[in-house]
Amino acid sequence: MAKKPVHREKYPDILRTWGDHIKTRRLDLKLTKRQLSLKFHVDDTTIYLWEKNKVQPSLAQIPKIIEFLGRDPFEKETENIGEKLREYRRVHGLSQKKLAEQLGVDQTTLAGWEKGKHRTRKRLLDTLKIFEKCL
């Protein structure tokens, strides 16, 4: 009986997307799409779609993906509080609504801070300074 041909998956040429990073790490670890799908509690097709860059992972999946990769490939230096808040939300998979609740502010206020449209009051600025240390 003839041996079944071995299909070798090709690494992405350039790592531009979440899917590219996920596929590279999966291949490095010699995991199948099925094994990875079980780790992320998603369907096999989801892994396929991520790796083919047909679908981006949801915000809720980003913290798990960063943990799987061992780093955040899209981490960037942030300059102002708005950028820091957006980056914190992204890394932790939080919506504006959820982070606003955690900070004890209105979602519209948080959105304004992120866009640099609202100035913070002294009390809220103190809250943000404490929060910023966690960033």
CA of 111: how far to CAs of 54, 64, 91, in Å? 29, 25, 17
Percent of all residues in the chain with a pLDDT value above 90, rounded to a whole number: 47
Taking all residues of the chain, what is their mean pLDDT, rounded to a whole number?
84
Q: What is the pTM (predicted TM-score) of this model?
A: 0.66
Is residue 129 over pLDDT 90? no
Distance of CA 106 to the CA centre of its chain: 24
* Residue 30 zone, left/alpha/beta (φ > 0; ψ -120 to 50; rest): left
Give the residue, 76 or 71, on which the prediction is more confident.
71
The pLDDT tens digits of the residues spanning 35-66 come to: 999 999 999 999 999 999 999 999 889 999 99
How much is the pLDDT for 125?
A: 58
- At residue 20, does pLDDT exceed 60? yes
Would you place residue 26 in the very low, low, confident or very high pLDDT band (cuts 50, 70, 90)?
very high
Question: 106 near 100, Cβ under 8 Å?
Answer: yes
Position 22 scores a pLDDT of: 96
Domains 18-69 and 81-134 in one fold: yes
3-class DSSP string for the chain: CCCCCCCCCCCCCCCCCHHHHHHHHHHHCCCCHHHHHHHHCCCHHHHHHHHCCCCCCCHHHHHHHHHHHCCCCCCCCCCCHHHHHHHHHHHHCCCHHHHHHHHCCCHHHHHHHHHCCCCCCHHHHHHHHHHHHHC
Residue 28 CA from chain centroid, whole number: 20
Confidence bin at 19 (pLDDT 50/70/90): very high
- Of the candidate CATH numbers 1.10.260.40, 3.10.20.30, 3.30.43.10, 3.40.50.1370, the domain formed by 81-134 belongs to 1.10.260.40
CATH class of 18-69: mainly alpha
What length does the chain have? 135
pLDDT of 115 higher than 90: no
Q: Would you list the domain boundaries of the chain?
A: 18-69, 81-134
Tokens of 102: 């955690």
Mean pLDDT within 85-101 = 87
